[in-house]
Every structure is written in C-alpha cells, then in structure tokens.
C-alpha cells in the first residue's frame, strides 16, 4: 500500500465513473492489444490486480468525470489475461463474475490496526469472519485477507500467542468452507508504523502454531523488500506457508519495471519453481498517465 493513500479509503470510492475507455491507440506499441496479450500468457502465473490502485481511472478528479467504470475495468483486466480483480467486498463481486473473473483475495472484516493480536478483539472478529467466509465460498472465491493489528506496546511474542489463539478458533469455519485466511505481511518502516506482522519469520511461526492448511501468509513483495530483502531465499524456505503474493515497485510502490529496485522476473521464476499454483496480484499504484499500459507491462514482466 502506498504511504500516501489508504487502501480502504480508496476502495470505498472505486465503484463510480461513467466516461468511455481511453483509446487503445494511445498505448505504446509494445503494449498494444489486450486480447493478444492475454492469449500469449504462459499460464505459469495466475494473474490478479488490486482494484484500489486504480482510483485515478475510476474516480472523478477535481470535477472531471471518471475515465471508466468498474465494469469497464474488469473487462479490460479480463482482456489482458488476468483472472482476478481483488480486495473487493460483496457488493462488487457480481461485477467481477460478470466479466468472467474471480476475486482472488476478498476483503475481511478487520483492518490493519485492528486484528487478532489482542484477545478482546477475538469475540468481535470471530462472528464477522464466520459470516464472511461462507459468503466467500458460495461465490467460488479462494481467500479472505486478515491482519495482525498494531503493537501499541505489546511484545511480538505476546501478540503471536494471541493471534494463534484467535485464528485457531476461526480455522474450523475456514476448513469447513475450504477458504484460506491470508495473514498479510506489511512493512512497519515506511507505510504501516507499528504493524506487528512485519517479518516473514513471525508470520510463519503463527502458521506453524495454528497448524491448519487454511491459514497462509499474504507475502507482499514490496513490503518484505523494505523490511527484509533476501526475498528469493525467503520464498524458497517458506513457500509452504505462503498462499498469495502482491507486487509493488520499491521504494514508492509505483511501476515494477526498471525504475525500481526489485528484479520481478527473477522473483516470479523463484515462485514458479516452488510449485505455487495460487495468484500473484499487481498492487502497484501507476504513476504514468496511462495506467492500463503500466498494468499490461507488469503482467508481461511477471509472466515467466
């Protein structure tokens, strides 16, 4: 997530917009042809995109109408060969399904600062997740996101123990409905000060202690590059605990090309080599005027 933009505040306003799509002729020659690009995808990576990053397309800007509707965006994503638009709530699910897509990572009822690391949160979160998980399953979607919460003076060990207690209570519902609860790893250095699940080892230990195949980590490559680096080794050693990946250019969560420091093609090859069959979702905030061209480029980079 970009430090200057709230994912949740962005999501709340991403359903409007009535103007026509930008002309395809404005795209760079190497990125033309959404349908053609989709047809050429190798199939080793299941591609997804996070909706909140495209506020510049889907929201009105200073009195100007939105450039496209949410439905238009879903069609464009499908034409590129993506299989999912994600971080959506139930009101948005029919639109992605209409476009022949899924929501590979559904929003949950908690948030980044309010998660499972406090015992007094458990009785609030548990019934909400127990309601949400069957709805995710009924729509044929695989994952729902969750968070540790912030430290607020709590030790990491105490927070880990508390998360384990709460998530163990949730696992029977996740297992019954075959939905993965994905605990997201975020950086606490730049974007989410004080967030507890800020290192892979901590998240892996939660998964080990909970002991369910329906609890996995959402490994955000952007966040873990900031906190840890050494991503390929980390992925190789911990891939069995990772259920989903997000992208983003470091340092500023923009395009994932040569303007930033991560070698995304190498990271994707390492992910494929682990036998991973889940989704990789683009979660960079386009900096260039043609956001769809940037998305096509990112898909090309990651399609190893």
How crowded is residue 112: how many other Cβ atoms within 10 Å of its Cβ? 20
pLDDT in tens, 199-245: 999 999 999 999 999 999 999 999 999 999 999 999 999 999 999 99
**Phi and psi, residue 221, nearest 5°:** -60, -40
Q: What are phi and psi of 188, to 5 degrees?
A: -105, 10
Q: At what angle do helices 231-238 and 200-210 cross, to 10 degrees?
A: 10
The percentage of the chain sitting over the pLDDT mark of 70, rounded to a whole number, equals 87
Please write the tens of the pLDDT for every residue from 27-43.
333 333 334 444 589 99
Query: What is the four-CA torsion angle of 31, 34, 39, 43, rounded to 10 degrees?
Result: 80
The pTM assigned to this predicted structure is: 0.88
Confidence of residue 7 (pLDDT cuts 50, 70, 90): low
Q: Is 116 helix (H, G, I), strand (E, B) or coil?
A: coil
User: For residue 40, what pLDDT is reported?
Assistant: 84
Cβ 67 vs Cβ 19: under 8 Å: yes
Least confident of 5-19, 29-43, 122-136: 5-19
Percent of the chain residues past pLDDT 90, beyond the cut? 84
What digits encode the pLDDT tens for the residues 292-304? Answer: 999 999 999 999 9
Count the alpha carbons within 13 Å of 149 in the hemisphere toward its beta carbon.
24
Q: Quickly count: other Cβ atoms within 10 Å of residue 279's Cβ.
A: 23
The tokens for 141 are: 């979607």
For 68-97, what is each residue's pLDDT tens digit? Answer: 999 999 999 999 999 999 999 999 999 999
Domains of the chain, by residue range, sit at 7-302
Query: Which CATH number describes the domain made up of 7-302?
Result: 3.20.20.150
């Amino acid at each position: 997530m970009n430090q200057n933009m709230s994912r949740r505040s962005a999501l709340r306003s991403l359903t409007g917009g009535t103007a026509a799509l930008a002309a395809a002729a404005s795209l760079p020659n190497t990125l033309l042809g959404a349908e053609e690009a989709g047809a050429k995808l190798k199939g080793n990576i299941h591609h997804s995109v996070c909706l909140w990053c495209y506020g510049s397309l889907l929201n009105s800007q200073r009195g100007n109408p939105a450039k496209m509707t949410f439905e238009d965006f879903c069609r464009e994503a499908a034409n590129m060969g993506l299989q999912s638009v994600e971080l959506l709530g139930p009101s948005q699910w029919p639109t992605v399904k209409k476009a022949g897509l899924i929501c590979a990572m559904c929003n949950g009822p908690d948030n980044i600062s309010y998660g499972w690391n406090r015992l007094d949160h458990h009785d609030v979160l548990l019934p909400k997740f127990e309601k949400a998980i069957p709805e995710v399953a009924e729509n044929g979607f695989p994952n729902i996101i969750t968070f540790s919460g912030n430290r607020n003076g709590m030790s990491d060990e105490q927070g880990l123990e508390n998360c384990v207690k709460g998530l163990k209570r949730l696992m029977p519902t996740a297992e019954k409905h075959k939905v993965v609860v994905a605990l997201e790893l975020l950086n606490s250095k730049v974007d989410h000060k004080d967030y507890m699940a800020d290192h892979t080892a901590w998240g892996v230990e939660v998964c080990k202690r909970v002991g369910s195949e329906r609890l996995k980590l959402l490994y955000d490559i952007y966040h873990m590059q900031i906190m840890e680096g050494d991503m390929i080794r980390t992925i190789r050693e911990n891939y069995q605990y990772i259920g989903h990946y997000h992208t983003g250019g470091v340092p500023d969560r923009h395009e994932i090309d040569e303007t930033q420091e991560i070698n995304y093609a190498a990271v994707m090859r390492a992910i494929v080599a682990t036998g991973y069959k889940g989704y990789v979702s683009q979660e960079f905030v386009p900096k260039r005027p043609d956001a769809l061209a940037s998305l096509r480029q990112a898909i090309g980079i990651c399609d190893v």
